[in-house]
């Protein structure tokens, strides 16, 4: 009997050792990808939020800790096989990226590797626990250059037109020419860094995290996600309009720099306020359950 227990203990110990070895190998193999992502987050303004994405993903794991599978629920040939296949797919995607010098394929190969590791180690119950964190990691990965450039150019043009109209609406003379808004005091250029893509991506990430956290009906979460691009554009227009107002009131190089910094700081709080208001409005749209309504026996039928 004792020998059987020793055999089981040794088997479990060897499993833990094997899992730890596999995880270490994957971390070492993808270490350079992590360094590449860190460099992207540091150098590209549109990806500066990437530093916070892994932290939020870990927090989501803690938030959903009640779904952590028990020891008896972990394992199974099917989940291990599926995990290994997905990991190999991620490695193949990375090899393709290295071979064809594609940064997009190299960085996005992280997702299937993480997903396969979760399934292989935690089983299907582990996937149920960790899938929001795995999905959220996508926000730390750069968009393909063609996609980012296309959306960035359209957002830049849209932000210029709407901001120009808003400035005129508040009584400031403004004329849009290309991606430049001409004020009476000085021109206000809507540069690529001000196109709103960074705000749009960051706010969409916040909206997704909010949907994972809050216990709301599915239709409310769909509305919240669908409105995220609109709120991101509105926040960016608010920023450009605020800069234009400051430019018009206090022209000068020092004030211009302050206007850019100050308006940038106010973008995210402004967007979060809109998010809170939206959640409050959606809460008011929920009809009370029939059981909570007053009932009178003498009510006419």
State how many domains the chain has.
2
Core vs surface per residue 5-24: b (16+ CB within 10 A) or e: eeeeeeeeeeeeeeeeebee
- Is the residue at 236 inside a domain? yes
Range of the domain at 261: 146-284
- Please, what is the end-to-end C-alpha distance for the chain in angstroms? 73
| Closest by CA position to 116, among listed 65, 77, 70, 79 | 79
Does 34 score more than 50 pLDDT?
yes
DSSP string across 213-224: HS---HHHHHHH
- Is the residue at 69 inside a domain? yes
Query: Do 63 and 135 sit in the same domain of this protein?
Result: yes
Per-residue pLDDT tens over the stretch 224-255: 899 888 888 888 888 888 888 887 776 666 55
Does 268 score more than 80 pLDDT?
no
The mean pLDDT value for 269-289 works out to 79
Does 301 score more than 90 pLDDT?
no
- Is the residue at 192 inside a domain? yes
Query: Do 172 and 130 sit in the same domain of this protein?
Result: no
Query: Do 88 and 203 sit in the same domain of this protein?
Result: no
Burial of 157 (0-12, 13-18, 19+ CB in 10 A): middle
What pLDDT was estimated at residue 175? Answer: 87
What pLDDT was estimated at residue 261? Answer: 63
Cross-strand partners of 189: 180
pTM across the whole model: 0.77
Query: Do 34 and 130 sit in the same domain of this protein?
Result: yes
Per-residue pLDDT tens over the stretch 159-191: 888 888 998 998 888 888 888 888 887 788 776
Tokens for 46, please give them.
Answer: 């549109």
Query: Do 173 and 233 sit in the same domain of this protein?
Result: yes
Query: Do 227 and 114 sit in the same domain of this protein?
Result: no
What pLDDT was estimated at residue 29? Answer: 82
The mean pLDDT value for 50-68 works out to 90
């Amino acid at each position: 009997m004792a020998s059987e227990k020793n055999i089981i203990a040794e088997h479990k110990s060897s499993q833990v050792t094997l899992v730890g070895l596999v995880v270490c190998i994957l971390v070492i193999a993808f270490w350079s990808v992590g360094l590449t992502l860190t460099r992207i987050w540091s150098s590209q303004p549109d990806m500066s939020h990437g530093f916070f994405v892994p932290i939020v993903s870990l927090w989501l794991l803690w938030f959903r800790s009640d779904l952590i599978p028990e020891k008896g629920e972990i394992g199974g040939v099917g989940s291990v096989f599926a995990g290994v296949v997905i990991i190999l797919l991620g490695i193949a995607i990375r090899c393709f990226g290295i071979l064809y010098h594609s940064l997009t394929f190299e960085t996005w190969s992280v997702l299937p590797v993480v997903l396969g590791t979760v399934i292989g180690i935690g089983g299907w119950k582990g996937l149920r626990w960790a899938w929001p964190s795995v999905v959220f990691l996508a926000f730390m990965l750069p968009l393909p250059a063609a996609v980012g450039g296309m959306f960035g150019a359209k957002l830049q043009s849209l932000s210029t037109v709407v901001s120009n109209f808003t400035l005129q609406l508040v009584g400031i003379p403004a004329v849009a020419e290309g991606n430049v808004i001409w004020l009476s005091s000085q021109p206000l250029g809507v540069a690529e860094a001000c196109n709103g893509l960074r705000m749009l991506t960051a706010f969409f990430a916040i909206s997704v995290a909010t949907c994972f956290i809050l216990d709301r009906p599915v239709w409310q979460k769909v509305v919240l996600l669908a409105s995220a691009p609109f709120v991101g554009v509105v926040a960016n227009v608010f920023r450009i309009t605020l800069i234009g107002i400051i430019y018009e009131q206090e022209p000068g190089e020092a004030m211009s720099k302050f206007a850019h910094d100050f308006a940038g700081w106010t973008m995210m709080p402004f967007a979060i306020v809109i998010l809170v208001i939206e959640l409050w409005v959606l809460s008011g749209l929920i009809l009370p359950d029939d059981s909570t309504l007053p009932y009178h026996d003498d009510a006419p039928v």
